[in-house]
Amino acid sequence: ARCHRALSPQLPLLCLSLCQLSEHHHSLLAIARLLPDITPRERELRRRLSLCAMAQLLGKAPCAVLSLGAQEELLVLAQLLAQSWPHHLQLPTQHHALQDLDQEACYLSHSLLYLADIVVGTERPQGEQWGHLQQLCTQLERFGSGLREGMGQFYRSQLKNLATVLCIKWQELLE
């Protein structure tokens, strides 16, 4: 418990520092996945870092999500997840064909979904978190049914499959 109290005030600074290691979504996801997930303190660090990384990738202030209480995390995650779909993402359009932009948006959305899964974790939600997780499942269902697939768009099929897998996983936490 002594180590946990020593880390708590440093947690926001640590998360912000780790988010500054890269601007690329794939690297930020890799950093979050490298952190251990054994103790409650480690899980909190992974959750907070993932939420911070999502905010940064979506152009939000990462420090704003670090001051949240545990009960508010899933509520903010629902807001970030709503902006994580490929058609909502703002990507630079300079030297890219339309299909390349779509593929890059799906790739970013893929990483954002994995970061969201780290935030949700594997523990059953308590209190208000139950309703927020239910809202997240509804968002994933709508996303999966709204994402059109087509020939040569395997990346869209992968994203749709990930959304379906996460939706099932999160629904199991609600049972």
Sorted by where each begins, the domain ranges of the chain are 9-173
Q: Which of helix, strand or coil describes residue 92?
A: coil
Indicate the average pLDDT of the chain. Answer: 81
Q: What is the pTM of this model?
A: 0.84
pLDDT over 80 (residue 114) = yes
Whole-number pLDDT of residue 95 = 56
Whole-number pLDDT of residue 5 = 43
In this prediction, residues 152-161 reach a mean pLDDT of: 80
The percent of residues in the chain predicted with pLDDT above 70, rounded, is 80
Whole-number pLDDT of residue 150 = 67
- 69 vs 56, residue with greater confidence: 56
In this prediction, residues 100-118 reach a mean pLDDT of: 89
Confidence band for 86, pLDDT divided at 50, 70 and 90: confident
H helical segments located in 71-153:
73-82, 98-120, 128-146
Q: How far apart are CA 135 and CA 67, in angstroms?
A: 22
* Residues 28, 42, 139: CA angle, nearest 5 degrees: 60
pLDDT over 60 (residue 29) = yes
